[in-house]
Amino acid sequence: GQQVMQIPQYQHVQEGEDFTTYCNSSTTLSNIQWYKQRPGGHPVFLIQLVKSGEVKKQKRLTFQFGEAKKNSSLHITATQTTDVGTYFCAGPEADSNYQLIWGAGTKLIIKP
Amino acid sequence: NAGVTQTPKFQVLKTGQSMTLQCAQDMNHEYMSWYRQDPGMGLRLIHYSVGAGITDQGEVPNGYNVSRSTTEDFPLRLLSAAPSQTSVYFCASSEGSGYTFGSGTRLTVV
């Protein structure tokens, strides 16, 4: 069945280092969405990418959608403590307007 | 706008008890869904609805019922609580571009 794989499961960084999480789909996606969940919180929608090769930036966050629309990445430059949390990617189920297939998430941990 | 409102925020149940988790949204979204999230895990879909009067099962529907009598409300019923249902439950709604999640209900079944 349709799957969205996300790696790594965890990433430990020193504050100020960069962070990247990768998302790969078994099928071509019409769009890819990214969410952030702070510890103890709920997932919050960050962005949706629709076009092949699309790159979008939100301050220190850079989101990319692959040319084949099967992979995506989220890169955070110079991490801060406010970036701590789990980042999820999600892509629509085939033939669905609403249903999402979720990646397992990447947990960003700042080393003390 | 309040967005998606879930109540209660915390609940402790005894095994075998039933209860209803409430979810309401004020954004006129057609799509609503319920997820559960176990510690350190991702999101698993329980039930969803694409409009009033329409519901369908997700990945883990056993032990749960839903109804959608209005666009705004999408309650989740636990029929006979079991310890395996201890989890955090999130309700989400969407108009087709990004989900809005409620703040969650943390449920413990003892």
Q: How far apart are CA A21 and CA A63, in angstroms?
A: 10
Q: Does B42 touch chain A (CB under 8 A)?
A: yes
What are B46-84's pLDDT values in tens digits?
999 999 999 999 999 999 999 999 999 999 999 999 999
- CA of B101 vs chain A CAs: smallest distance (Å): 6
Q: Does B1 touch chain A (CB under 8 A)?
A: no
Cβ of B78: how many Cβ atoms within 10 Å?
20
Two structure tokens written together for B16: 């075998």
Cβ of A10: how many Cβ atoms within 10 Å?
11
Q: How far apart are CA B37 and CA A70, in angstroms?
A: 26
> Which of B45, B48, B99 has the CB atom closest to A45's CB atom?
B99
What are A57-76's pLDDT values in tens digits?
999 999 999 999 999 999 99
Share of chain A above pLDDT 70, in %: 100
What are B13-56's pLDDT values in tens digits?
999 999 999 999 999 999 999 999 998 889 999 999 999 999 99
Q: Are A17 and A110 in contact (CB under 8 A)?
A: no
Residue A98 banded pLDDT, cuts 50, 70, 90: confident
- CA of A7 vs chain B CAs: smallest distance (Å): 13
pLDDT of residue B2: 78
Cβ of A9: how many Cβ atoms within 10 Å?
12
- CA of B33 vs chain A CAs: smallest distance (Å): 9
